[in-house]
Structure 1
């Protein structure tokens, strides 16, 4: 099998890949809990939501393993889940039914595949300046750091200044800082599986400080009976509804450009294997199609993939390991639930730093490319939206080039992408 025979050439081994898969899983396992709670708002039974997320994630990981041979983890994204639940299916927003929303996801996956499996993907990749693609990873790194700091209680909401410094005397912050010290020590010492070890030790620290309760742990397999009403429950009755197509267009934009930025950065910059980008991108598109079938919000390349890569993951064996663990998670969901955010936050912060370090590759001093990059870099964390941050930068780039008298240097597909983003903002206002 290629996953096991091609390891030496990629400077890795079975043990490292499995440890990377374990590390990634425990860094991303929270998605089962968080997204299942969110999906339940649509009326989907909580148990069914857990099955949908687990199956979509596992299959997405298997696609990355066997089709792309990449350590990329595909899971229903938090942003995509929020878009699906609160906007597409929200009664005060687009108001589609759960079945219609799943149909929109299915069709968006097909359109995403048309992009990924044709020359459109190559045209799109070549049309977007290298600096713009790289700065997306940097912006996401800041976003990830912000999420980590927020989950840790180090950064909190402030009505006067929007955000402010949290209470460093709180148990939550103290536990996070202790776990950050542990994670940094293991990271700088290059301890194999350091992130995984820090998660385990961080949970123990949480137990010592009384924020982790193990008394309620039970090993009960969730019932699959409720899931039968969600699996393959797509409703295509909204095909003639303009709102349905606004939902499809929004999903295509989000999954296409979020996956493009993440996968490009991870395959090219983080593992140094640009040849894996094409199949990874295509695999991501196929995975979105399956989400409509499984009843989950769209999968994307998880930011936490960086945890596995930092732990040494280089091949599909990392993704295969994570996918298997997702399936086993149906048995061990109660244990996953006790891993505190105070143990996960330090890893997010460290990964954020690793991603932000790519800024050295961006010509930020050149205004015509630097200003659009600056917008992406700042808008992603400040708007708490990866796709909106990308949109602002992609709209700004051709405008700056036109103002500089260099309109002809911008490739036609870049103008098209820019106009699509403008249209997406217009549709948001209309909707």
Structure 2
């Protein structure tokens, strides 16, 4: 283990890595049910979608763990699954088999970028202010997701967002759980996040928010999955819209992952690990189309494992193995309530906000696009859309202010791609 993962060099231990892997799993296991439900609306059978999500997550976590030795999780991305189902299939009129072929094309493009100097060119072309903004915006999104899942914040017709029912058992247990989580974290109690999940879960059970009846070990049907695995369709390969849509998807996937991986490796103070992490992510996206699901991303919730002490790929591998084992106990997964996960997400989000000190506020041409990214990622509920607006505005402002030479030529090209994606996604569909 020491030779393979260099635990001592990275200041960690086996117990820390296993604990971080378990915590990571608890924070992302929701994706099994949620992703499968969204894929079902594209026509993929629910049980097939469950298995596809599990196998894709297992493969993704293992390949990034072994290849890059970073505690990053690769799972089907929220937002990308919605793009797969609602934009490509339902609005675009493609079948889910054709959409899977687009995911495969996206993976090929990603792999070419990740394994060539193109990745470094793209990364160096993005200014520090925008990189930091992506990380902070993701933190804001985590906070919003945490409060939303707990019902503490809810949608409103008049004010967009409003305070929810704070007297509900879920809200109460989340608030108590958040206080416990923060106290355990500040006091640096060993296994603090895991202990928080256990305490809050027990509290939710005691308050009657978790139904323990009917829990059993069951295996989903693999028969339906065999009709999804490898079922890519190239029937529309002669259609220009097929390739434009694939390019649009690829652009969103690549830049979202660049932003996420930058944020995670920054938390680890190991920016040199981003190259191999990006390569592993590209391979994982390629495999997603074959396994039968929407593209994977370097999950936002990877920050949970990092915060819990995960420092090497062993954390990701533990999470991946737990994903595989979860085929046996999907009903038990549902026991962990949202009120146990929400405090973790909120805490991590707040920690990520601290990076705002690295954005210079003196030059508005630098800070304004960055601040827009920070605000729009949670408001649009989309990392890709929030990024896109900032990436388009940054070179535009510099150009209009006569500072166009300060912008890397590649960033102009990226801005054009993001703008084109907006036109394709929100104007032409």
Map of 2:330 onto structure 1: 333
Paired positions, count: 428
Map of 1:364 onto structure 2: 361
Question: How far off is 1:170 after superposition?
Answer: 1.6
Q: Does 1:87 align with 2:84?
A: no
Structure 2 contact 2–8 (Cα < 8 Å) conserved: no
**Higher helix fraction (1 or 2):** 1
SS in 2 for 1:212: coil
Listed one character per residue, the Cα deviations across residues 333-387 of structure 1 (whole Å, up to 9, x for unaligned) are 1111121111111111011111111111111332110011011111111111111
Are residues 61 and 147 of structure 1, via their aligned partners in 2, closer, same or farther at CA, if it must alter by over 3 Å? same
Structure 2 contact 64–313 (Cα < 8 Å) conserved: yes
Structure 1 contact 364–373 (Cα < 8 Å) conserved: no
Question: How far off is 1:245 after superposition?
Answer: 2.0
**Which whole-Å CA distance do the structure 2 matches of 1:55 and 1:5 have between them?**
23
SS in 1 for 2:362: coil
Question: How far off is 1:99 after superposition?
Answer: 0.6
Question: How far off is 1:107 after superposition?
Answer: 0.4
Question: How far off is 1:2 after superposition?
Answer: 6.0
**What is the root-mean-square deviation in Å for CA atoms of aligned residues?**
1.2
**Which whole-Å CA distance do the structure 2 matches of 1:136 and 1:50 have between them?**
30
Dislocated runs of 4+, deviation >2 Å: 1-5
**Which whole-Å CA distance do the structure 2 matches of 1:270 and 1:374 have between them?**
20
Question: How far off is 1:319 after superposition?
Answer: 0.6
Map of 2:52 onto structure 1: 52
Match of 2:402 among 402, 405, 410: 405
Map of 2:372 onto structure 1: 375
Map of 1:26 onto structure 2: 26
Are residues 3 and 51 of structure 1, via their aligned partners in 2, closer, same or farther at CA, if it must alter by over 3 Å? farther
SS in 2 for 1:75: strand
Listed one character per residue, the Cα deviations across residues 248-274 of structure 1 (whole Å, up to 9, x for unaligned) are 12221221111101101111x201111
Q: Does 1:41 align with 2:61?
A: no
TM-score (normalised: structure 2) = 0.98
SS in 2 for 1:300: strand
Are residues 8 and 312 of structure 1, via their aligned partners in 2, closer, same or farther at CA, if it must alter by over 3 Å? same
SS in 1 for 2:334: helix
Question: How far off is 1:43 after superposition?
Answer: 2.2
Listed one character per residue, the Cα deviations across residues 311-344 of structure 1 (whole Å, up to 9, x for unaligned) are 1111100011001000001112111112111111
Q: Does 1:281 align with 2:278?
A: yes
Map of 1:311 onto structure 2: 308
Map of 1:175 onto structure 2: 173
Structure 2 contact 59–320 (Cα < 8 Å) conserved: yes
Match of 1:199 among 177, 197, 200: 197
Structure 2 contact 113–119 (Cα < 8 Å) conserved: yes
Where does the alignment leave 5 or more consecutive residues of structure 1 unmatched?
none
Are residues 355 and 236 of structure 1, via their aligned partners in 2, closer, same or farther at CA, if it must alter by over 3 Å? same
Map of 2:386 onto structure 1: 389
Q: How does 1:97-112 map to 2 (within 5 A)?
A: 97-112=95-110
Match of 2:297 among 294, 297, 300: 300
Are residues 43 and 17 of structure 1, via their aligned partners in 2, closer, same or farther at CA, if it must alter by over 3 Å? same
Question: How far off is 1:83 after superposition?
Answer: 0.8
TM-score (normalised: structure 1) = 0.97
**Which whole-Å CA distance do the structure 2 matches of 1:56 and 1:192 have between them?**
31
**Which whole-Å CA distance do the structure 1 matches of 2:131 and 2:385 have between them?**
15
**Which whole-Å CA distance do the structure 2 matches of 1:152 and 1:355 have between them?**
20
Map of 2:116 onto structure 1: 118
Q: How does 1:249-288 map to 2 (within 5 A)?
A: 249-267=247-265, 269-288=266-285
Map of 2:352 onto structure 1: 355
Q: Does 1:9 align with 2:9?
A: yes
Structure 2 contact 5–314 (Cα < 8 Å) conserved: no
Map of 1:219 onto structure 2: 217
Map of 1:145 onto structure 2: 143
Where does the alignment leave 5 or more consecutive residues of structure 2 unmatched?
none
